[in-house]
Amino acid sequence: MRVTVLGAGSWGTTVASLSAGRNPTLLWARNPDVAAAVNDKHENPAYLAGFTLPESLRATRDLEEAVSGAEVLVVGVPSHGFRTVLEEAAPHVPHWIPVVSLTKGFEAGTLFRMTEVIRDVLPGRVAAALSGPNLAKEIMAGNAAASVIATEDLAVAAELQRVLSRGLFRIYTNHDVVGCEVGGALKNVIAIATGIAQGLSVGDNTRAAVISRGLAELTRLGVAMGAEPATMAGLAGMGDLIATCISPLSRNRQVGERLGKGEPIDEILASMNMVAEGVKTAHVVMDLAARHGVDLPICAEIRRVVSGEVSAPVAYRGLMARAPAGHESGPV
């Protein structure tokens, strides 16, 4: 099947590389230098330096060319630009194709999940989400990994599973789109909290507590939004949470660690060439928490930190000073 991937960041390029092993695959890059590097040198030095891309993978900066011939459209654009790119592409997107989101976040203002944005901009298409513990550089290095393709139409999910699976990259199907998207978005915020604990050198016991209590927050919000609790114990919940919180490759964990060491958030973000979705998600998720009446104390503190209201050490002390809720399934 002809696959188009929109977004030539590290994860978009990785998924395009996996797809190119068995499908004609076209990668859309906004930056012409990235497109030229993919086509001429079979590399993406801006985001995946040191890795060789398949010779069969082609790239273009022409959005109409990228989407008009696609049979599967995969979108790996950051959440703040997701709608804009889809709106630009919409006149050229075939009416019947499935559209898969790689983006783990929420849209500011509407509070939409990315599949909801897809359905809003491209009505009539099957919207799906690919989510799981998927660190791009590990997958490009050939290490085994697993992910979940989530869509309510399991027949389409099975076909996407066949199209996107490759080698040691295993994909499972799931009908719980809400759970997979909430887990994928919220874990980035918890990863910032875990990174702060690392930056403050408060120990592995504390990091484990943050991860565990973070999973409880993922689950509470997800269930309130209609997710199934079991999803949060799977690849798109706990699996993604663990990988993002503990790996030095995680951008959100890196942001937290640098915050814990005292760096201002503006300087951290200015120095990064890739988006740390957890920073924006920390704001949006608290609006979702208010809408659904859910207490998310870790996320609340991270929003204060990334807003510049409090320093990371002050937020950490405030969080640890909270009285326990009594039962482990309750708030921190």
Alpha helices in the chain (DSSP H): 10-20, 32-41, 63-68, 79-89, 114-121, 136-140, 154-164, 177-199, 204-224, 229-232, 240-246, 251-260, 265-270, 277-292, 297-306, 312-320
d(CA 77, CA 67): 14
Q: What angle do CA 321, 327, 330 make, to 5 degrees?
A: 75
Q: How far is CA 61 from CA 11, 15, 34, in A?
A: 17, 18, 9
Token duo for residue 176: 């719980």
Q: Which residue, 128, 281, 298, 135, is CA-closest to 217? A: 298
Residue 17: DSSP 8-state: H
Sign for the pseudo-dihedral over CA of 281, 284, 290, 292: negative
> Could you confirm whether 137 is annotated as catalytic?
no
Residue type, 70: A
- For the beta sheet containing 145-150, the strands, ordered from the edge strand earlier in sequence to the opposite edge, are 58-60, 25-28, 3-6, 72-75, 99-101, 127-131, 145-150, 169-174
Q: How far is CA 173 from CA 128, 235, 236, in A?
A: 10, 11, 11
Question: Tokens 């009446």 identify what position?
Answer: 293
The distance in angstroms from the start CA to the end CA of the chain is: 47
Which of 41, 104, 137, 187 is catalytic? The answer is 187
Token duo for residue 183: 């887990």
d(CA 300, CA 308): 13
In this structure, are residues 285 and 106 in contact, taking their beta carbons and an 8 Å threshold?
yes
- By annotation, the residues acting in catalysis are 187
